[in-house]
Amino acid sequence: MKPADLLVEIGTEELPPKALRGLMDGFADHVVAAIDGARLAHGPVHAYASPRRLAVLVEDLERAQEDREVQVKGPSVSVALDKNGKPTAAGFKFALKCAVDFSEVGRIKTDKGEWLAYSSIEKGQAAAGLLPALIEKALAALPIPRRMRWGAGSEEFVRPVHWIVLLHGKDIVAGTVMGIETGRHSQGHRFLASGAVTIRQPADYLGSLEKNGHVIADFERRRKLVRTGVEAAAHQAGGIVVDGESLYDEVASLVEWPVPMLGRFDEAFLLLPREVVISTLTRHQRYFPVANSAGDLLALFVAVANLESRQPDKVRDGNERVIRPRLADAAFFWDSDRRKSLASKLESLRDVVYQKGLGSLYDKSVRIASIVTWIAAQRGVDAANAERAAMLCKCDLLTGMVGEFPDLQGVMGRYYAGSDGEQPSVADAIGEHYRPRHAGDDLPATPDGRILALADKIDSLAGIFAIGKKPSGNRDPFALRRAALAVIRIIIECDLDVDLKALIAEAVAAQPPGKTEAEELLAELYTFITDRLRRYLLDRDDNLATETFDAVLVRRPSSLVDFELRVQAVQAFLELDEAASLAAANKRIANILRQAGETGQGGNNDVKKKLLTEPAEIALHEALGKAGALVQPLLDARKYADALRTLAGLREPVDKFFDDVLVMADDKGIKKNRLALLGKLRALFLDVADISRLSTL
């Protein structure tokens, strides 16, 4: 039979909206992996999802597996046959295993000798018999943190499953998935559809659901309709959508039949901080704020209903009535919080536990202030405002506004500090100290904000590591990987050049006494941060190889800014014609020194000129002296690329040395002197990176 399209739809109760796209893509990936693993050829694959369904459509899926030849390898001929060529017990046993007469057993020759073998044709299985189990396998592989059970069955999924559509062409693939018999009947919209929706064949899926069920199952199309409709409603009111990208996916995951509509609220609420209004609309209600062309908020929002109502004004009124008390609560908190200054809340932080073993939020504030002072001293800047911000930066956690809107921590601290008459730089630093909150987020924009953000994150890393709560596997409840990446971004992208090892040591010393030794903790944290640095640099530059990063990591630079400069220098070095030869030479030198018990850091003794007898070793010694004199000022100025270009000039004397000179000479003095010469050569390169780790291909 000809290939036909496959459709599988898992009908559920409402799926978690923030996870819907991931579930959709994951289900499609696992279905493809399952059918590929079952040797079922197919065409393009399409993933669909709505709040009550996950679906995959696979074009041109074969009706059955192809037949294939299966070869079973048996014992060697020397074991399977006796000296007269008759089968031994081992030979007969192999034939019995293959269920054939020994005369039907063949032989194969390999590099290791001749072996018995039997080839047979394995008949391909029908797809219909395989698919239910493959779908179950795909569902089981989805990364669902917490699964639910329902009814009396033992099946588990992210939400209870109520129907299964499984079609191959026009035929139902009979079977059971998640305890439910497969069929061709889907369900439409909860309120707009009158009953089950029959799917005649996979190609009809989207059209049948839309026409007969008022469901737009194509996630991307539904998202586009949400976006287009929301933007059109805002434009019609003379405005533009604010922060739409953060909501389009989630709203598309909440509705099956999107109907945008414009709503209004009291203009008096525009006196609230902009972020408060936006958070109230977006985080609490999933409404889209509207602003004018200058970016000023208007007393408007766009809501997306999940149905077409005969009385749209009542739906609009309902949305407006829902948002009104939310904004009124925010206004109450805004007024009441400002009756007391942030500074007045500082002592109350003593009563709030930051983390067991790490004291209170007050203790954390004191530690951050201490680290801020240290960073400022290293940078040669005044620490007064940054230190003041450090002591106040957690105070907004005790305000009513942040209690109701946790995502506004830091943001409200900035507003309240400004209202209290604090210095603008203090208020700005408080507002910026949580940045970057996530990948791609903005970095702190002010000098004090950068110092404070860095201090806050390095304190969190040192503290949580100190109490033994470091990330393990996929578990990272304190988001320490994100904190480490934030440290990297602030240091590198803001050019905040500090000694990372010394910074870690300062943060570790500020923690309450613990069981972990300071030196051990320092090494752990440095490794943890540089592991994140590896991923950061590799993601940022597609041309960067892991071995280039590792070549620099050997030097364990104290400064991440310095680390990046070295990586860039090694990348530039790899473009030189001399790179491959010098990398190979360094690898050879490293092996020689290691076998001879030398450190490779310049040799145990200085090179003795009087023991240099061969012209090639004399020339190399002279070249090293000249290169060293040229390179040292470049190293001091962190001009590592120029330093490596200078060292590239050593290629000819190095090649000549290895062509003409026997390093492991019989005379122990000469041998030791030549090892010292190679150590000096290796040390020159090691001042930048260990280029022996680079590929010579």
Three-class HEC string of 393-462: CCHHHHCHHHHHCHHHCCHHHHHHHHHCCCCHHHHHHHHHCCCCCCCCCCCCCCHHHHHHHHHHHHHHHH
Q: Tell me: the pLDDT tens digits for 90-144?
A: 888 988 888 888 888 888 888 788 888 988 887 888 999 999 999 999 999 998 9
Please report which confidence band the pLDDT of residue 367 belongs to, taking 50, 70 and 90 as the band edges: very high
Mean pLDDT within 420-428: 96
Mean pLDDT value across the chain: 92
Render pLDDT for 24-43 as a digit per residue (tens, 0 to 9). 999 999 999 999 999 999 99
Which run of H or of E encompasses 187?
strand 185-187
| The CA-based dihedral angle spanning residues 155, 157, 162, 163, taken in that order and rounded to the nearest 10 degrees | -90
517 pLDDT above the threshold of 80: no
| Structure letter (DSSP) for residue 191 | T
Nearest residue to 238 via CA among 262, 266, 217:
262
Six token digits for residue 468: 């033994």
Above 90 in pLDDT, residue 437?
yes
Instruction: Quote the CA–CA distance of 555 and 614 in Å, as a whole number.
Output: 33
Residues in the chain: 697
Give the helix/strand (H/E) hosting 377. helix 361-379
The upper half-sphere exposure of residue 690, i.e. CA atoms within 13 Å in the direction of its Cβ, equals 19
Residues 6+ apart with CB under 8 A from 99: none
Phi/psi for 191 (5° steps) reads: -115, -25
Contact assessment for residue 177 and residue 136, using Cβ atoms and an 8 Å cutoff: yes
Omega of the bond prior to 406 within 30 degrees of 0, cis? no
**Tens digit of pLDDT for each residue in 275-322?**
999 999 998 899 999 999 999 999 999 999 999 888 999 999 999 999
Tell me the HSE value of 579 on the side-chain side, using a 13 A CA sphere.
21
Say which residue the tokens 């989207």 belong to.
Answer: 206
Contact criterion met (CB below 8 Å) for 102 and 92:
yes
Percent of the chain, pLDDT > 70? 98
Cα angle: 52, vertex 55, 57; to 5 degrees: 160
* Whether residue 603 has pLDDT greater than 50: no
DSSP class of residue 351 equals: G
Which residues, at least 6 apart from 318, have a Cβ–Cβ distance to it below 8 Å?
none
Q: What is the mean pLDDT of residues 479-489?
A: 96
Question: pLDDT tens digits for 615-629?
Answer: 998 999 999 999 989
Which positions ≥6 away from 412 have C-beta within 8 Å? 273, 275, 276, 337, 396, 399, 401, 402, 405
CA 141 to chain centre: 20
Q: How far is C-alpha 221 from the chain's CA centre?
A: 27
CATH 1.10.540 corresponds to the domain 344-540: no
pLDDT in tens, 309-321: 889 999 999 999 9
126 three-state secondary structure: strand
Query: What architecture does CATH give domain 564-693?
Result: Orthogonal Bundle (1.10)
SS3 (DSSP) at 43: coil
Tell me the per-residue pLDDT of 216-258, one tens digit each, with 9 for 90 and over: 999 999 999 999 999 999 999 999 999 899 899 999 999 999 9
DSSP string computed for 482-527:
HHHHHHHHHHHHTT----HHHHHHHHHHHSPP-SS-HHHHHHHHHH
- Model confidence over 368-400: pLDDT tens digits? 999 999 999 999 999 999 999 999 999 999 999
Cβ–Cβ < 8 Å for 447, 381: yes
pTM: 0.81
Q: Domain spans of the chain? A: 4-64+126-213, 68-122, 220-337, 344-540, 564-693
CA atoms within 13 A on the CB side of 406: 1
Identify whether the C-beta of residue 323 lies closer than 8 Å to the C-beta of residue 276: no
